Amino acid sequence: MSVDIETVKRVARLARIKVSDEGAERMTGQLNGILGFVEQLDEVDVTGVEPLTSVVEQTMKKRQDGVTDGNYPDDVTRNAPMTEDNFFMVPKVVE
């Protein structure tokens, strides 16, 4: 896959990055070089190789997933400057 100047300009516009014509031309060469290196990775034979998530063998510690915080709304809203029915009151900011 190769990238042309129009693609670089389009990506820059989508990313809201201002790119001059000279910068787009320079980035075209750089991106094509990067994509060339990525294409080289396709040539590596990875059959039988499991995906690696960490260089250190580890197992994830599992914990019980349960609600541990709640059922005391008075404590939660105690320090709020204004509350109503256990909800935080905030000033209106949108008209």
Look at 84 and 70; give whichever has higher pLDDT: 84
Cα 40 from chain centre: 26
pTM for the full predicted model: 0.48
Predicted confidence at residue 69, as pLDDT, reads 66
Residue 19 belongs to a domain? yes
Computed over every residue of the chain, the mean pLDDT equals 88
Residue 14 belongs to a domain? yes
Interhelix angle 21-41/5-14, nearest 10 degrees = 100
Half-sphere exposure of 92 (CA within 13 A, CB side): 2
Per the structure, the complete domain to which residue 22 belongs is given by 5-41
Q: Say how many domains are in the chain.
A: 1
> Residue 86: which pLDDT band, with cuts at 50, 70 and 90?
confident
Residue 78 belongs to a domain? no
Residue 91 belongs to a domain? no
Residue 21 belongs to a domain? yes
How far apart, in Å, are the Cα atoms of 56 and each of 50, 62, 67, 89? 14, 18, 32, 49
Please report, for the domain that includes residue 15, its CATH number.
Answer: 1.10.20.60
Q: Does the structure show a pLDDT above 90 at 32?
A: yes
Q: What's the 3-state SS for 19-73? A: CCHHHHHHHHHHHHHHHHHHHHHCCCCCCCCCCCCCCCCCCCCCCCCCCCCCCCH
